[in-house]
Amino acid sequence: MASALHAHAESVASLGRAYADLAERHRAAADAGCGEFGEWIARARELTVAAERLLALEIELARGAGVTWVAIAGALGVSRQAAWKRFAGVRSGA
């Protein structure tokens, strides 16, 4: 479990750096009065996919540690059934 948590921590940190880089690009464009909207949209989509993978891994780790679907659903702000339906068969590498 510890190695999975370390790998997950690095993935979270990497995603954070990617979001910070995108934010910096937006700041620079705002200062210059222009923007690369197509590039930003594509990058935001890539980051969303990565964030979804991280969420699935977090839930997989939680389930492996014995966290209930009720607790997971509460953290997600959805019903237990909705959480289970969305994540029960999902594997983070998929």
| Residue 94 pLDDT > 50 | no
pLDDT digits (tens, 9 = 90+) for 35-84: 788 888 898 999 999 999 999 999 999 999 999 999 999 999 999 999 99
Number of H helices, E strands in the chain: 4, 0
Q: How far is CA 7 from CA 10, 12, 62, 78, in A?
A: 5, 9, 14, 27
Domain, as residue range, for 48: 2-87
Q: Quick one: tokens of 18?
A: 């990617």
Residue 7 lies in a domain: yes
For residues 27 and 35, give the distance between their C-alpha atoms in angstroms, rounded to a whole number: 10
Residue 40 lies in a domain: yes
The verdict on pTM exceeding 0.75 is yes
Residue 45 lies in a domain: yes
**CA torsion through residues 85, 91, 93, 94, sign:** negative
Residue 74 lies in a domain: yes
Residue 92 lies in a domain: no
Q: Are 62 and 88 in contact (CB under 8 A)?
A: no
Total domains in the chain come to 1
